[in-house]
Structure 1
Amino acid sequence: MKAILFETFGEADVMQLGDAPSPEVRPADLLVRVHAAGVNRADLTHRMGGYGRPNFGDSTIIGLEIAGEVIDVGSDVTGYAVGDRVMGVVGGGAYAELARIDYRMAMPVPAQLDYVQAAAIPEVFVTAHEALLHLGRLKTGDSVLIHAAAGGVGSAAVQLARATGATIYATTDASKLSRVEQLGADFAIDYKCRDFVDVIAEKTGGRGVDVIIDFVGEPYFASNLASLANGGRLIQVGILGGGGNVAVKLEEILYRHLQIIGTVMKSRSQSEKHAMIRRFREHWLDRFDSGDGLEPVVDSTFPLARAADAHRRMESAENVGKIILTMRPQDLLSDCDC
């Protein structure tokens, strides 16, 4: 099969299209002919050596998110059959024509969606649900601040918060403000021109917000705490701006009843990952077919052979929503469809 391979860690150019053996199907696996794969920040970390390839997970091939057609099933699989359209999160191996996926990490593709749209759902919407609703306990009438709201998880979080009935504050670049508002943000904040602490204080009368979803890390930590209401929850999903040491007065956490919660899917046990998929599927999956406002946000598509260009697009931070790789035979050498 064709797959993206690299001999050394480094910049995007280390990735090249090559030949790799097809994955072995284990008892709990589906073997999927991949039609589309999502590009995630974790892929960039993998490529640069942040995980170390031998310990990356279920495959030495890069990639965590697929959509495609089932072509074989393991002996322990229930609920899926050859020919089914599926999407889901894999433990590596997505940047390839064939991938195996634990059937408990898979979901049926909603009937109204194509494979590119489906590949834009699993990682970001599952992560957003886990952060907002399972850990953040967001409910109707609450307020939430979502940072990096035009990114994959951010754009998903805005939609889920809107569907929950929350008031949404969202930070993003000036060029993306209108798109974030279209997705459902009540107040989109240009983080380069306005201090979100001041905006939150002004709009909430000094109360603060109930939940904050943050991908930035250390540079935002103190400002995030200042923007939380009493009893508020800060859900730390990423550390794009740095994961260094932070200072906090314990009295502030104690007397304001604040909660600081970290979440990363990759480091969870397999049973916990199964539960994350199940929670999202039960709560939201039908909404993608109901015309009820949830939509996968696709920024651009690239053929598998141009995975390096897809990574450069993500590194530019210009994307709104997901960057997708396509695996149709004619796409292995075709141009970008941006």
Structure 2
Amino acid sequence: MHFCITETAPCRTTIRSMSSIDGAPVMKAILFDTFGDADVLQLGDAPVPEVRPSDLLVRVHAAGVNRADLLHRKGAYGRADFGDSAIMGLEIAGEVIEVGPEAQGYRVGDRVMGVVGGGAYAEVARIDWRMAMPIPAGLDDVQAAAIPEVFVTAHEALLHLGGLTDGGTALVHAGASGVGSAAIQLARASGATVFATADAAKHDRVKQFGADRVIDYRSEDFAAVIADRTGQRGVDVVIDFIGAPYFAKNIAALAHGGRLIQVGLLGGGGEVGVKLEDILYRHLRIIGTVMKSRTPAEKHAMTRRFRDHWLDRFARGTDPTPIVDSTFPLARAADAHRRMESSANVGKIILTIGGKD
């Protein structure tokens, strides 16, 4: 379940026809002239992106909000073009309105979702066809926009890099977050026992995602809980978004041959300490992964691995399922950012960008 935050009752509005300036088509998009807090985000006009040979041009109906967007707004990436657009936003769901001459497998009118290199906070975005996926039958655009970034990231960390298998054990930090909720579902669907950390107020929801034991990160020592629940063995895989504050306990929580997959640094980076004997004699692996800095070929492979493994299961309506916390119209992107910054959300925050003509 999710709730809708709008100025009027409907969650969707009718998208207007594209306007033009001096004959060039423009669209509505979220822009910001300066870096800063959420108030810098404003709805304005931007050029409609041109289709490159390998692109699909997509009428965006919904876009996911990610913590990388908050960093973008604050200036962490400067004014970089991430491959598709300098406009904010990393994941979209919508309808194909134009197909580049080298794109394969898609036609005008197809419903698609996927990760983009910028440009999601807009009425139209372009996406490399190898990053696009068909929206599974039975899912609406809001649900579809809650899938690409978090589930591709979770699959890559948990299964491809982490090597989690049926009968294994995993610890997922930030279990109520977008990637956290996705990782819990994928771990559970893979036959693993799942531990997760979350604020106490969110424990019931995190259990619904499939966690066998939810640990209150404020009042419990997660390494001690895992040692007790696993008979001192530890877990096979740790998925961590926090960073330096959790590093030592993550190492302590790993089983012999365990893998720590570092996905984020919400709690801070910098230097950490570890006994090399632990790495050596316990056969541990520490692996970092950030999707944004991957090469295009690596991103294509990540998308393909997730699609091949999981997309049919979304179409069947079985586990996993997208978790939507709330929706905001595009013009209220600043409010969507404020909700994410409050850490009140459970699952994905989605921007809605009108409906089909």
SS of residue matched to 1:234: strand
Q: Equivalent residue for 1:283?
A: 309
The 8 Å contact of residues 180 and 188 in structure 1, kept in 2 or not, is answered as yes
- Which one of the candidate residues 43, 47, 58 is aligned to 2:73? 47
Pairwise CA distance, 1:45: 0.7
The 8 Å contact of residues 46 and 56 in structure 1, kept in 2 or not, is answered as no
Residues 163-184 of structure 1, C-alpha deviation per residue, up to 9 Å, x if partnerless?
Answer: 0000000000001101110110
CA distance in 2, matches of 1:318, 1:219: 21
Matched, 1:60 2:86: yes
Matched, 1:97 2:123: yes
The 8 Å contact of residues 123 and 353 in structure 2, kept in 1 or not, is answered as yes
- Which one of the candidate residues 203, 206, 209 is aligned to 2:235? 209
- Which one of the candidate residues 260, 269, 275 is aligned to 2:286? 260
Q: Equivalent residue for 2:195?
A: 169
Matches for 1:1-338 after TM superposition, within 5 Å: 1-328=27-354
- TM-score relative to the length of structure 1: 0.96
Q: Is the deviation greater in 273-282 or in 188-197?
A: 188-197
CA distance in 2, matches of 1:99, 1:143: 39
Pairwise CA distance, 1:60: 1.3
- TM-score relative to the length of structure 2: 0.91
CA distance in 2, matches of 1:295, 1:167: 18
Aligned residues: 330
Residue identity in the other structure for 1:250: L
Residue identity in the other structure for 2:325: D
With a CA cutoff of 8 Å and minimum separation of 6, indicate the structure with the bigger relative contact order: 2
Q: Percent identity?
A: 75
Residues 91-128 of structure 1, C-alpha deviation per residue, up to 9 Å, x if partnerless?
Answer: 00000000000000000000110000000000000000
Q: Equivalent residue for 2:3?
A: none
Pairwise CA distance, 1:56: 4.0
The 8 Å contact of residues 30 and 70 in structure 1, kept in 2 or not, is answered as yes
Residues 245-304 of structure 1, C-alpha deviation per residue, up to 9 Å, x if partnerless?
Answer: 101111110011000000000101000000000000000000012132211000000000
SS of residue matched to 1:94: coil
Pairwise CA distance, 1:54: 2.9
Query: Unpaired segments of 5 or more residues in structure 1?
Result: 331-338
Query: Unpaired segments of 5 or more residues in structure 2?
Result: 1-26
- Let me know the Cα RMSD of the aligned residues: 1.0
